[in-house]
Amino acid sequence: MTKEISVALVGAGAMGGALLRGWLSAGTIDPAASAVFDPAADAALKKLARRHDFALNPSPEGISVDALVLAVKPQAAASVLPAYAAIARSALVISVMAGMSLAAIGRALGDPPRVARAMPNLPAAFGAGVTGLYAPATVNAHGRDVIDRLMAATGETVWVRSEEEIDFVTAVSGSGPAYFFLLTEALAEAGAALGLEKEAAQRLARATASGAGAMLAADPRSPADMRKAVTSPGGTTAAALGVLDGDAKALRRLMKEAAAAAAKRAAELTE
């Protein structure tokens, strides 16, 4: 049987909390040997700690774990991380922070020997996440296996070739769920503008987005082939796609601009 991983998680907000819940339900981590740090822990986190018996906000001194996972806001990292430097000396450090470089993490933690970056996304909370991963050569095959096991507990994993590519992962899949939520909001608003009741339009848009997601998850066809399957020649979908994807390729152009803005922001956060 594969050994459960002991983890110290710093920051159990939206993303850290989703990862924690995924690890606990998949049995990936050993809760009794793990610790979670989040000073203003809410009632749900306290309840989770009691149910699974992990340490919540213990003193970081003397804690020894397989992996130290960093999930605080990048803007808070420089002031928060130094308290975990001792843990980082012996643990594999995995940062899920957007735009916080290996060099900056190293500076904040006193240059620990093994640091890697992971960029998960929020559907991890439902086991439907995808995480981009990068580790430098200082992380050996065993370390990579630990990282992969932790992140695969919440969905798919994709290793990338360079640290720079983590910014591109952030722009595509880290931030990506928000793009689909916005599209869903926009579709509901369009339905209401046509004359549907607001609630009916919202239900239709949400179920359509989730149905399309279910097809993407289960149907082996490419997204382009599935789009063609919905589109009858000369029909209604073709009329709509003429606006979204006609000669001006409006949506594709907008998506490129949006992803470029996200990648640029990730690079700025690093500076």
Ligand X SMILES: NC(=O)C1=CN([C@@H]2O[C@H](COP(=O)(O)OP(=O)(O)OC[C@H]3O[C@@H](n4cnc5c(N)ncnc54)[C@H](OP(=O)(O)O)[C@@H]3O)[C@@H](O)[C@H]2O)C=CC1
Ligand Y SMILES: O=C(O)[C@@H]1CCC=N1
The item of ligand Y, ligand X, none sharing an interface with residue 13, based on CB under 5 to 8 Å by kind, is ligand X
Query: Binder to ligand Y among 174, 188, 201, 263 (CB under 6 A)?
Result: 174
Q: How far is the CB of 111 from ligand Y (least distance, A)?
A: 25
Complete DSSP assignment for 198-246: HHHHHHHHHHHHHHHHHHHHH--S-HHHHHHHH--TTSHHHHHHHHHHS
Is 37 one of the binding residues for ligand X (CB under 6 A)? yes
Query: Binder to ligand X among 1, 3, 39, 61 (CB under 6 A)?
Result: 39
Is 170 one of the binding residues for ligand Y (CB under 6 A)? yes
Q: Which is nearer to ligand X, 38 or 191 (CB)?
A: 38
Q: How far is the CB of 64 from ligand Y (least distance, A)?
A: 29
Number of residues near ligand X (by CB under 6 A): 25
For residue 56, what are the CA distances in angstroms to 31, 111, 151, 236? Answer: 11, 26, 21, 55
Is 120 one of the binding residues for ligand X (CB under 6 A)? yes
Is 102 one of the binding residues for ligand X (CB under 6 A)? no
Q: Which is nearer to ligand Y, 10 or 49 (CB)?
A: 10
3-state secondary structure 18-39: HHHHHHHHHCCECHHHCEEECC
Complete DSSP assignment for 178-200: HHHHHHHHHHHHHHHHHT--HHH
Binding residues for NADP(+), by number, are: 71-74
